[in-house]
């Protein structure tokens, strides 16, 4: 059965999507079977996996509203080596349309149950909010991976997220735990980043992943080519860090 992880942080622009697609590509490269689920109506993880969101006939939206089965909606990204359950703007409607429906926060969980034997990892890219969509992700997952920048208010933000995860754990999903905090866009030359990094380790201990993802322009360029950095430029520092992170994940989980 697949290990199902949400990549979540209620802040935007912190590296969730970059982490999701590069971890997916890194895991695929080391022989893991991966499904990437895009839960953000912006569809960045879909595009960044080489799947054109504008050309998708069906998306995760149809799966959440139970109009279609996940088996018919997922597509395989040949270039990236993993399967994609894509999203586009249509998904923003789901937020409101799900509200009156029964089992509204468990829709993704039930859909994934149909395919979880086919994968080793299912990675869910969450939108930057605590919405009905994120809640579906958190209810479906065994764990949460939190990408974060080592900035001044980082600890505060993480505390809010940790509290949310505790609430979901208590009320909706007993399996849910924090797998770890991933330091991303890290620049060791900036003293403040080093200080916050040390604070994080002091506070969260071994919940902080050993791997650190550096700030690396190749990771930022890759999406415009419809590729994760791991595939766009395998020799770049950013790509190598994500492959190391994939190895760390496999080591922690298996
Ligand atoms: P989120 O999904 O949390 O909104 P993204 O993954 O889209 O965040 O990242 C925000 C921006 O930062 C994007 O333009 C992305 O290309 C860039 N970025 C992310 N990680 C890195 C990194 N390690 N080095 C350089 N740029 C990065
Ligand atoms: Mg994103």
Q: For the segment 170-187, what is each residue's pLDDT rounded down to a tens digit?
A: 999 999 999 999 999 999
Identify the band that residue 108 occupies on the pLDDT scale cut at 50, 70 and 90: very high
Which residues lie with the beta carbon below 6 Å from any ligand 1 atom?
Answer: 12-18, 44, 128, 184-185, 213, 215-216, 219-220, 223, 238
Q: Whose CA is nearest to atom 24 of ligand 1?
A: 215
> Is the pTM for the entire model greater than 0.95?
yes
Q: Does domain 3-253 have CATH number 3.40.50.300?
A: yes
**What separation in Å is there between the alpha carbon of 198 and the centre of ligand 1?**
22
Domain boundaries, the chain: 3-253
Q: Whose CA is nearest to atom 20 of ligand 1?
A: 15
Q: Side by side, which strands form the sheet with 208-214?
A: 75-77, 82-85, 34-38, 121-125, 3-7, 143-148, 177-186, 208-214
Q: Is the pLDDT of residue 254 over 80?
A: no
Tokens standing for 210?
């050993």
Q: Whose CA is nearest to atom 19 of ligand 1?
A: 15
What percentage of the chain reaches a pLDDT higher than 90? 92
* Candidate of 8, 12, 13 to mutate for ligand 1, largest count of ligand atoms within 8 Å of Cβ: 13
Question: For residues 211 and 218, is the Cβ–Cβ distance under 8 A?
Answer: no
Within 8 A by CB and 6+ apart from 133, the residues are 39, 40, 41, 91, 94, 95, 126, 127
How many whole angstroms separate alpha carbon 109 and alpha carbon 79? 27
């Amino acid at each position: 059965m697949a290990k199902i992880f949400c990549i979540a942080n209620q802040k935007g622009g912190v590296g969730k999507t970059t982490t999701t697609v590069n971890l997916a590509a890194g895991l695929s490269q080391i022989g893991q079977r991966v499904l990437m689920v895009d839960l953000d109506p912006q569809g960045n993880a879909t595009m960044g996996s080489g799947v054109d969101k504008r050309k998708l006939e069906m998306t995760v939206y149809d799966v959440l509203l139970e109009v279609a089965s996940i088996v018919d909606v997922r597509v395989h990204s040949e270039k990236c080596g993993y399967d994609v359950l894509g999203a586009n703007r249509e998904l923003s409607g789901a937020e409101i349309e799900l509200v009156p429906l029964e089992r509204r926060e468990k829709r993704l969980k039930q859909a994934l149950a149909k395919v979880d034997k086919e994968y080793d990892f299912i990675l869910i890219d969450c939108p930057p909010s605590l919405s009905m969509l994120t809640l579906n992700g958190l209810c479906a997952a065994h764990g949460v991976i939190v990408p974060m920048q080592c900035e001044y208010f980082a600890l505060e933000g993480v505390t809010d997220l940790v509290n949310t995860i505790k609430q979901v754990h208590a009320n909706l999903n007993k399996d849910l735990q924090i797998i770890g905090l991933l330091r991303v866009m890290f620049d060791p030359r900036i003293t403040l980043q080093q200080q916050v990094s040390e604070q994080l380790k002091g506070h969260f201990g071994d919940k902080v992943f050993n791997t650190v993802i550096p700030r690396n322009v190749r990771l930022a360029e890759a999406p415009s080519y419809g590729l994760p950095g791991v595939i766009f430029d395998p020799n770049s520092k950013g790509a190598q860090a994500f492959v190391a992170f994939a190895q760390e994940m496999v080591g922690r989980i298996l």
